[in-house]
Structure 1
Amino acid sequence: MPAVRKVSKEQIIDAAVEVLRDDGFSAINARSVAKKLGCSTQPIYFSFKNMDELKAALTQRAIELHTQRVRDSLCAHEGSDSRYSSYGMGFVKFAAEEKQLFRWLYLEGEQPGAYQSDVLMQEVIGVIVDEFGYAEDVARRFHQDMIYFTYGLAILANTDHLHLTETELREAFRREFRALIAIYGKPAKLPEFAVKAGVAL
């Protein structure tokens, strides 16, 4: 018998991500992943007990990719925008640019233990407290309401029904922020960039 090609666990997960990106979650199976790797299915079952285990690893990788995309957005706008609005923009851009990964995590995923948590929840709550001076319990409720708005934009972007420029998207988040201020009260402080520039959030 020919020797089984050595394929690492990371390579298998990478291949599964590519299958997901190309063809969606329904295409994830041992044969499609093996074809992407250019090998038989044997290496997959050497590294993973079954497809559920591989799908769980795929879910974790998708979460990591999503988290990194949001963190990149936070860093990209640091000093020139609210970190909190940058979080929302990163979320929507991920939905638009990584359509299948977003659907896997939030819309159609059939992975074991569907992922339903907000990315970077505690970090984002901390940003609201730090940037705007809200108490943590208020920040949590404020963010929960903002999530409904953000998910709506993300789903529209994911399904190609949202066509906003970056400036228009940022302004949409600012309008929603102002609407929520009417409910939760004026923030005790504004980000330093907003104070200097006289930006109305």
Structure 2
Amino acid sequence: MPSTPKISKETLLKKALDILEREGYEAVTIKRLAQETGCSTQPISWQFGGMEKLREALGDYALAEALRVTEADADGTAMERFARSGERYLELAINRPRLFCFVYLGGSGKRISGGLTDLTLCGHDETLLGAIAQEAGISPEDAGRLVETMVIYNHGMACMVAAGLVRESRETAFRMLRRAGAAFLISLGVSRERAHALSGVEEDA
């Protein structure tokens, strides 16, 4: 009995994600994947056991890819790390809108464990809130409000960008995000000069 041709799951999932990002989720089928990889449908069915399992594996793969490209830095101040996490999340929506929608707007059927809490902490543990509070001179409770508010604002902007409702440049979108952060810090009693410095807003912007 001839052996089943071996094509790795990684190769197939990478190609499936390529199809999704070019043509949309509905284009991802075993037949289409076979065409893209230059093989028959047999090795794909052998690897995944059918379309349902392929979709499930693609959901996991896409989520891992989205988390990889938005992973927070370990270097810099807490505010800098948090800001970069937000910018990377927004950049995912700008550069890879179909991946963003698939993962974060329910297309994959996956859920980030912890929901808003995990997004809020951006890969850090809860000491991030204490560090932000200390840097900004606000209470940990206000730091939590700041982070939650910015996550919601950031997610809303990213959704509009991914849906094509907002067509700002990367630089303009980042500037809007930084200004929103500064405005909320000011509402918490941080001086305008300090809020702009913490958020990376130019004073003459």
Give the shorter-chain TM-score range: 0.7 to 0.9
Q: Find the counterpart in structure 1 of residue 29 from structure 2.
A: 29
After superposition, the CA RMSD in angstroms is: 3.4
Match of residue 111, structure 2, among 112, 115, 131: 115
Q: Find the counterpart in structure 1 of residue 167 from structure 2.
A: 162
AA aligned opposite 1:106: Y
Structure 1 residues 67 and 3: CA distance shift in structure 2, 3 A: same
Q: Find the counterpart in structure 2 of residue 85 from structure 1.
A: 83
How far 1:136 sits from its partner (Å)?
5.5
State the number of aligned residues. Answer: 189
Structure 1 residues 54 and 179: CA distance shift in structure 2, 3 A: same
Structure 1 residues 84 and 50: CA distance shift in structure 2, 3 A: same
Q: Find the counterpart in structure 1 of residue 49 from structure 2.
A: 49
Indicate the SS of the match to 2:71: helix
Q: Does 2:154 correspond to 1:130?
A: no
Indicate the SS of the match to 1:82: helix
Unmatched 5+ residue regions in structure 1? none
Unmatched 5+ residue regions in structure 2? none
How far 1:78 sits from its partner (Å)?
4.7
Q: Percent identity?
A: 24
Query: Greater RCO between the two (CA within 8 Å, min separation 6)?
Result: 1
* Over 4 Å off, 4+ runs: 118-121, 134-138, 182-185, 197-200
Contact 1:7 1:43 in 2 (8 A): yes
AA aligned opposite 2:154: T
Indicate the SS of the match to 1:6: coil
Query: So what's the TM-score if we normalise by structure 1?
Result: 0.74
Q: Work out the CA distance in 1 between the residues paired with 2:131 and 2:38.
A: 49
Q: Find the counterpart in structure 2 of residue 59 from structure 1.
A: 59
Deviations 1:162-189 (A, max 9, x none): 21342x33332222113322555549xx
Query: So what's the TM-score if we normalise by structure 2?
Result: 0.73
Contact 1:24 1:100 in 2 (8 A): yes
Match of residue 146, structure 1, among 131, 144, 150: 150
